[in-house]
Amino acid sequence: MPEIYERGNHPYVDAINDVDQIHEAACLAKSVYDSEKAAIDRRRKFIRERIGRDRRKSAWTGLAFSGGGIRSASFGLGVLQALQAKHKDHPNVYGIEGIDYLSTVSGGGYIGCSLTATLQKTRGKFPFTNPDNYDDTDSVRHIRDFSNYLIPHGALDVATALGIIGRGLVANTVIILPVLLFCVWISLLIHPTVESLGTPIPVIQDLIKTFPGLPLLPLLHGYWFTAILAALNFLFLFAWALAASMKHREERDASRRMGFRFENPLPRDISNRILRDSALHPLGDKPSR
């Protein structure tokens, strides 16, 4: 097999020109090609019999819609409507009937799925034509009126948003600032001057004398406090992760034992009545009134 047919980890298949000598590993790709070719032929036959447009000798044509959320879907809708518009000089070169293959990605799938679904309901008739009545429906009018959904009520929403942001900043400051101030206070207490940063405190000096074989202690110098905090932080995170995983495991085991869990139980009086009626009256019997 020529090296040109090997691309990456997958065998390249020239399914149009190479009909007989297909690599054994490409049999699946060949079957997919045959299936899609048969589907395209059936669709062309349906269009030929329904609207009289014969494309048996035309090359295959594909249409691809890229991603981009609702913006891609809106743009794709305009493209489809433009393709469907008849051109006065080329009446036979237009419309979705001339598309054999449709490929969509992400947001383009919105308009692609909408097109294929509605084409099945309309028996192949293009669904996105301009109606005679251009008035918006109530839902569309509501969307247009409140398209500025971030601040639909003007200055009041701006003030509310600023208040929410300020509240978050104050909350974070109140939670974090005491810890930072405590660390700053400890640092100033141990090293009140810049010159003292390079001198270990007596506790670290005693450790260096007691454990001279530890290579890291002489290198700490003024950064011993940072190193100790880093070690304590590592121990805290390890303990927290271990506790969280154990709690999750206990909750999972408990849910498995229960089989299910009520998220929104009925009020106690209603549930008690249901249990009472089901116990006093077998299935099929109605309680007396």
| Residue-wise pLDDT tens digits, 113-168 | 999 888 888 877 788 876 666 677 777 777 777 777 777 778 888 899 899 999 99
> Is the residue at 35 inside a domain?
yes
> Is the residue at 211 inside a domain?
no
When the pLDDT of each residue in the chain is averaged and rounded to a whole number, the result is: 72
Report the number of distinct structural domains present in the chain. Answer: 2
* Exposed/middle/buried for residue 65 (C-beta within 10 Å: 0-12, 13-18, 19+): buried
Same domain as 24, residue 132: yes
Can you tell me which residue has the tokens 């929410």? 164
Same domain as 23, residue 140: yes
Can you give the residue range of the structural domain that contains 29? 19-146
Cα 112 → chain centroid: 19
The dihedral region occupied by 116, where left means phi > 0, alpha psi between -120 and 50, and beta the remainder, is alpha
Distant-in-sequence, close-in-space partners of 118: CB < 8 Å, separation ≥ 6: 127, 128
pLDDT above 60 for 50 = yes
Same domain as 129, residue 227: no
pLDDT above 80 for 80 = yes
Q: How far apart are CA 240 and CA 233, in angstroms?
A: 10
> Is the residue at 188 inside a domain?
no
> Is the residue at 3 inside a domain?
no
Which structure tokens are listed for 193?
A: 């001057």
Last residue of a domain, one of 125, 146, 167: 146
> Is the residue at 196 inside a domain?
no
> Is the residue at 107 inside a domain?
yes
Coil, strand or helix at 64: strand
Share of the chain above pLDDT 90, in %: 7
- The model's pTM: 0.40
Last residue of a domain, one of 146, 170, 197: 146
Sequential DSSP letters for 13-58: --TTT-SS---GGGHHHHHHHHHHHHHHHHHHHHHHHHH----TTS
Higher pLDDT, 117 or 52: 117
pLDDT tens per residue across span 206-237: 666 676 666 655 555 556 666 777 788 788 88
> Is the residue at 182 inside a domain?
no
8 A C-beta contact, residue 269 and residue 277: no
- If you average pLDDT over residues 45-72, what whole number do you get? 84
Q: How far apart are CA 153 and CA 47, in angstroms?
A: 51
Same domain as 250, residue 132: no
Per 3-state DSSP, what percentage of the chain is helix, strand, and coil (rounded to 5)? 60, 5, 35
Confidence of residue 170 (pLDDT cuts 50, 70, 90): very high
Cα 200 → chain centroid: 51
Last residue of a domain, one of 95, 120, 146: 146
